[in-house]
Structure 1
Amino acid sequence: MGYNVLKELWAFRSSVIFWFVPIAACPLPIYFGVAEPEFYRVTACAYVVIIMAFYWMFEVVPLAVTALIPLILYPVMGVQKSGDVSKNYLKDTNVLFLGGLMVAVAIEHVNLHKRIALRVLLLVGSQPRWLMLGFMLATAFLSMWISNTATTAMMTPIGAAVLAELFKEEDQPAKEVKGESNQAVELDTIDVEDMPPEYDSLAAENGDAITPDQEKEMPVVITEKESSRRKSVQKGMMLCIAYAANIGGTATLTGTPPNLIVSEQMEIIFPDSPGIDFATWFFFAAPGMVITLFLAWLWLSSIYVGCSCAGDCACCGQKKRGGAEDVIRKAYNELGPISFAEGAVIFHFVLLVFLWFFRDLKFVDLGKKQAGWTYFFTPGYVTDATATMMVAFALFVFPSRPPRFLCCRSKDDEEKPGPVPGLLDWPTVHTKMPWHIVLLLGGGFALADGVEKSGLSAWLGQQFSKLAGIEGWTMCLIVCIGVAAFTEVASNVTATSIFIPILAQMARGVCVNPYFLMVPAGIAASFAFMLPVATPPNAIVFSYGGIKVSDMVKTGFLMNLTSLLVLMVMINTLGVPIYDINTFPSWANDTSTPCF
């Protein structure tokens, strides 16, 4: 009987958590509302934080719907006015992310991301080890600019098709591969796991010679050892795509939502701080991303391909062109030459990157003026979000084909003169834009703003002041391990939305530079390699089959440790000149827990 009850409760666990958490936590605001009214707003805000934390962790309702809770409970419980809460859902950082998503949609719309990925694969060759490197380089670069989920969803079927062609080539060792296109291969999802494992040889039982015609018709013999090797290569290929997507997103401010949450919370909690812009984040995070990606490739290739490189490269063996390279080349050739639309998107993309990097050259001191292209505008008015929306707006206006106007019109063009469609149109944006991420970011910002305005942050700062004797690097390591572990069972947006405001007050309470805790924690939220539920890229490659949870845990555990080790090295080296982590800044000082 008891077992059946627990089984029923587990089946309805979302409904149970939905009702149980608010009811179980409600004595907190009720007691202080009656016994200590001056402490009511703090406890009411804590009550909302508890509810949102559990709802986000267990996905009781969609994550974006949970993000709307502050719009309901903050005004109802007297934490903040509705107008003040609403402003957090389209702040400057949300606009930056929204514009970045529009540029990413344009890249996907013209298939530029596919061209980049296939071109990288053509450069690395067709051997498994170098194919893994090519997939990781292409995936990491794309995930810096477009969503990790979209990147993984595109690269995974390409990887499956390339592996299928690679194994098909190995089954025909006696045939010389001349490099012609294989017209029968399509980039569909191909499950290598379900390939026929073994066949009995049709060789003559009495020593009869096998004619060439019989050799062509005989089925392929795949030994148990060979089948095991192929499964291992398939696992490595799928995991390298997922891990590269997670790692690549850490390099840019817009690469993944946790990065933006760190930037926005820095401005909310420490309004007098220098903040975090695209350039400073990139100069700190990109070197660590490259190192982590290279170590991930070494680790995955050594486990799933082997340590020997003989025959894998031009230096150690003879490099040959095979069927796997043919399928990549065929897919690339099908894209045709670079179109006018692709060239236009490349131009706007490069323009946006330049606008981000050269908006404010912080290492040049011009007094009240910003040393960048914003020098010509009112100081403090133009941000990265302004540059992003400028380019995003231009994508709707810039033509997707050469305009048919006067001298620009070709002689063979018999259509009526008129404007051509822009690079982007609203139906495309409406369909491909992940709107829920914008709400999710807004909910995190609203949650943190309530924590600050209610006084909960000041109370947390006083409690954390008791930890002031711990070394900063030790605290940073503990924080990053905790965030990375929490992200294995919850989304990285959830982890950063909950932890970053708390870490900001912890830094203030123990008199440590807030950058020292907040920036590494935001990056650590993307280091989730051990479980399929940790990130969408993990879930996508796991759904392709052939990968067990034990495979992810075994491979991901060392990946987590390696990534955190690289992160610790980066924050203690690059963090000094970029964020000045060795000093406690005056803008972080709090009157309730003064450090001066």
Structure 2
Amino acid sequence: MAPRIVKELLSFWKSIVFLLTPVLLCPLPIYFASTQYSKIAACAYAVIIMAVYWTTEVLPLAVTALLPIILFPMLGVQSSKDVCINYLKDNNFLFVGGLLVAVAIEKWNLHKRIALRVLLTVGSEPRWLMLGMMSATAFLSMWISNTATTAMMVPIAQAILTELLRETGKDKPEERRMLPPDGKTGGGEDGEALKLKEIRMEEGDHDFVEDDTTMAEDQELLLHHLQKQLQSSSADSGDRMSKGLLLCICYAANIGGTATLTGTGPNLVITQAVDTLFPNGPGIDFVTWFSFGFPAMILALLLAWIWLQCMFLDCSCLLGCIKQRGCKGRCKRDRDNAAYKVIRRQYDELGPVSFPEKVVLLHFVLLVLLWFFRDMKFVKLENGRAAGWTYFFVKGYMTDAATGIMVAIFLFFWPSKPPNFMCCRQKRDTRPAEPAPPILDWATVHQKMPWSVVILLGGGFALADGVKVSGLSMWLSEAFTSLAGVPPAVVALVVSIIVAFITEFTSNVSTASIFLPIIGKMAEGICVHPYYLMIPATIACSFAFMLPVATPPNAIVFSYGRIKVFDMAKCGFMLNLGCILVLTFAINTYGIPLYGLSTFPSWATCAAGGVTLLGPANVTGLPANVTLG
């Protein structure tokens, strides 16, 4: 009876978690209600409830993100008016602007043309094919949704794999290579004879007899056994290659999004967290982020490529075509012509570059250039202002969000066909002059735009704002002063590891929303530049390589049935650690001069052991000049 009741209760576990979490945590705000920590406790209560709901997904992620609108006013943390402002901030519209351009790219199949062009360039040999897939996926994920990129790339990979395995005889046993009548498998005669003897002796059925009949029977038996072994080995090799070529897509999609500010949600969360926690700071814009994220992305992508080869291609000649037993013949470029023909056929089916593709590409390039040259802080003019096209506007008014929305609006106006009226009409054009539909229309945007992510980002921004207004951020800053003696490099490494493994079970945006405000105040507590901890932690939120549920690209690849959870976990665990080491290397080398991490910024406050740091501090955390607080 009891097991049945437990089983029935477990089937309603989401409802139980939803109802019990606020009840079990209610002593926290009640106990501190009449003290000076009432607001801090109330905000902590709301943060923990959202963390539990985001982790367990008892509600849709975007719905949980709306909770601050209810909880903060009820608990006396913030008014509803102040909370709601966070859901439509500048950074939300930066994301929307980037998404609108991405929707146009998807609508006119420009992303597929780019991907197939890259694959045609690198060739169809497995290791180069893997590099081509990863390069194309990572590049597209920098600008469009990693989910959309993966959903587009996996069918391409499946078609290529089918032809690749069919030609090499690794997809169906009856199509695999059979042994020649003389028992040789392509190696030397003596070597193959030795293999046959070894296999037969291991069988232990009966001894060799030197007579023609017995020898003929034995040889037939041995050949049959060897054929089975070769078939099994061939099938395993094809299966491993399939896993490697599919996993490389979801891993590249996760890594690629870290390079740009609009590539993935956590990158936008840090911009708002920095603006909220440090309003006097310079903030993080597109160029500031790209300067650090892109080189780190390239390093992580190369590491993933090498690691996937070691895991699945079983080829020791990673960097050169050295013929060895483990990879004999595999290093011959473009060996698999059938796979190359599949790529060529799919590319040819797209036809010549269409007018809409050219228009979308033009707007895409224009957007990137406008983002890059908006505010060139490294070039100072005579009056002290930075160079850039925003020089001709009021300082600080034109942001990356305004730029993205501006280009996106043009797409709703620009025609999808060349004009055919008056002097623009072609001589052979007999169509009546009429306006062409625009490149982008609202029906397409409504269908493809992930509005839930916009709300999820808003919830993260509201959470960060509430943490600051309530005083919880200051309390956390003081609580972390006990870590002041720990080397910051160790703290940064540990924080990145914790965040990377937590994001295996939760949404990367929700993970960033919960942890970044805390990490920002931790940096102040140990007198370290906030960017030194926050930037690696943000990128680590995208290093979800171990589980299918960790991120949509992993789930898409897993749904095709070629990959087991164990395969992903075994490969992803080491890749998680490797990419975190890449992050550690990046932030401790070129990240220091790029962000000025060697000095503690004047726009942050360092409080450690009753002292407040007013001057600079080096990255080891030792203050250069302190005064009593």
The TM-score with structure 1 as length reference comes to 0.90
**Corresponding residue number in structure 2 for 1:349:** 364
**Corresponding residue number in structure 1 for 2:222:** none
Question: Residues of 2 paired with 1:313 and 1:290: CA distance?
Answer: 29
Question: Residues of 1 paired with 2:286 and 2:264: CA distance?
Answer: 13
Pairwise CA distance, 1:511: 1.1
Match of 2:167 among 165, 169, 173: 169
**Corresponding residue number in structure 2 for 1:519:** 535
Pairwise CA distance, 1:197: 3.9
Match of 2:280 among 268, 272, 280: 272
Higher mean C-alpha deviation, range 545-554 or range 98-107: 545-554
Match of 1:156 among 154, 163, 168: 154
**Corresponding residue number in structure 1 for 2:347:** 332
Pairwise CA distance, 1:72: 1.0
Match of 1:438 among 432, 438, 454: 454
**Corresponding residue number in structure 2 for 1:111:** 109
The TM-score with structure 2 as length reference comes to 0.85
Question: Residues of 2 paired with 1:574 and 1:443: CA distance?
Answer: 33
**Corresponding residue number in structure 2 for 1:76:** 74
**Corresponding residue number in structure 2 for 1:182:** none
Pairwise CA distance, 1:24: 0.4
**Corresponding residue number in structure 2 for 1:179:** none
Report the CA distance shift for 1:319/1:429 in structure 2 as closer, same or farther (over 3 A): closer
Paired residues of 1:461 and 1:593 also in contact (CA < 8 A): no
Q: Are residue 290 (structure 1) and residue 268 (structure 2) matched? A: no
Question: Residues of 1 paired with 2:343 and 2:332: CA distance?
Answer: 22
Paired residues of 2:69 and 2:84 also in contact (CA < 8 A): yes
Question: Residues of 1 paired with 2:355 and 2:332: CA distance?
Answer: 41
Match of 2:433 among 393, 396, 417: 417
| Letter of the 1:258 counterpart | P
Match of 1:595 among 609, 613, 622: 613
Report the CA distance shift for 1:6/1:595 in structure 2 as closer, same or farther (over 3 A): farther
Higher mean C-alpha deviation, range 364-373 or range 567-576: 364-373
Paired residues of 1:198 and 1:223 also in contact (CA < 8 A): no
Pairwise CA distance, 1:31: 1.9
Pairwise CA distance, 1:415: 3.3
**Corresponding residue number in structure 1 for 2:380:** 365
Classify the secondary structure of the residue corresponding to 2:411: helix
Paired residues of 1:147 and 1:255 also in contact (CA < 8 A): yes
Higher mean C-alpha deviation, range 93-102 or range 488-497: 488-497
Question: Residues of 1 paired with 2:257 and 2:344: CA distance?
Answer: 27
Paired residues of 1:105 and 1:429 also in contact (CA < 8 A): yes
Match of 1:235 among 235, 238, 243: 243
Pairwise CA distance, 1:315: 11
**Corresponding residue number in structure 2 for 1:8:** 8
Q: Are residue 18 (structure 1) and residue 33 (structure 2) matched? A: no
| Letter of the 1:351 counterpart | L
How many aligned positions are there?
560
Computed over aligned residues only, the root mean square deviation of the Cα atoms, in angstroms, reads 2.4
Question: Residues of 1 paired with 2:148 and 2:168: CA distance?
Answer: 31
Paired residues of 1:253 and 1:277 also in contact (CA < 8 A): yes
| Letter of the 1:256 counterpart | T
Question: Residues of 1 paired with 2:161 and 2:431: CA distance?
Answer: 46
Pairwise CA distance, 1:107: 0.4
Paired residues of 1:68 and 1:439 also in contact (CA < 8 A): yes
Report the CA distance shift for 1:539/1:200 in structure 2 as closer, same or farther (over 3 A): closer
5 Å matches for 1:24-39? 24-33=24-33, 35-36=34-35, 38-39=36-37
Q: Percent identity?
A: 58
What residue ranges of structure 1 are gaps of 5+ in the alignment?
A: 172-191, 208-219
Paired residues of 2:526 and 2:606 also in contact (CA < 8 A): no
Question: Residues of 1 paired with 2:328 and 2:456: CA distance?
Answer: 45
5 Å matches for 1:158-307? 158-171=156-169, 196-198=172-174, 223-307=231-315
Report the CA distance shift for 1:201/1:314 in structure 2 as closer, same or farther (over 3 A): closer
Paired residues of 1:508 and 1:593 also in contact (CA < 8 A): no
**Corresponding residue number in structure 1 for 2:411:** 395
Q: Report Cα offsets for 1:29-70 as digits up to 9, x if no partner.
A: 12222x42x322111111110110000001011000000001
**Corresponding residue number in structure 1 for 2:565:** 549
Q: Report Cα offsets for 1:129-161 as digits up to 9, x if no partner.
A: 111111101100000000110101111111011
Question: Residues of 1 paired with 2:131 and 2:162: CA distance?
Answer: 18
**Corresponding residue number in structure 1 for 2:54:** 56
Classify the secondary structure of the residue corresponding to 1:586: coil
**Corresponding residue number in structure 1 for 2:600:** 584
Question: Which structure has the greater CA radius of gyration?
Answer: 2
Q: Report Cα offsets for 1:60-92 as digits up to 9, x if no partner.
A: 110000000011111122111111111100111
Q: Are residue 459 (structure 1) and residue 457 (structure 2) matched? A: no
Pairwise CA distance, 1:252: 0.5
Q: Report Cα offsets for 1:461-510 as digits up to 9, x if no partner.
A: 11112211111111101110110011111111111000000011111111
Paired residues of 2:164 and 2:336 also in contact (CA < 8 A): no
Match of 2:442 among 401, 404, 426: 426
| Letter of the 1:496 counterpart | A
Report the CA distance shift for 1:372/1:318 in structure 2 as closer, same or farther (over 3 A): closer
Higher mean C-alpha deviation, range 585-594 or range 69-78: 585-594
Classify the secondary structure of the residue corresponding to 2:37: helix
Classify the secondary structure of the residue corresponding to 2:378: coil
Paired residues of 1:313 and 1:319 also in contact (CA < 8 A): no
Question: Residues of 2 paired with 1:202 and 1:302: CA distance?
Answer: 28
Q: Report Cα offsets for 1:332-387 as digits up to 9, x if no partner.
A: 00100111110011110100111111111111223552311111111111111111
Pairwise CA distance, 1:407: 1.1
Question: Residues of 2 paired with 1:290 and 1:300: CA distance?
Answer: 15
What residue ranges of structure 2 are gaps of 5+ in the alignment?
A: 184-226, 615-629
**Corresponding residue number in structure 1 for 2:90:** 92
Paired residues of 1:93 and 1:264 also in contact (CA < 8 A): yes
Q: Are residue 124 (structure 1) and residue 140 (structure 2) matched? A: no
Question: Residues of 2 paired with 1:251 and 1:81: CA distance?
Answer: 36
Report the CA distance shift for 1:412/1:274 in structure 2 as closer, same or farther (over 3 A): same
Question: Residues of 1 paired with 2:115 and 2:178: CA distance?
Answer: 41
Question: Residues of 1 paired with 2:432 and 2:176: CA distance?
Answer: 66
Question: Residues of 2 paired with 1:404 and 1:590: CA distance?
Answer: 65
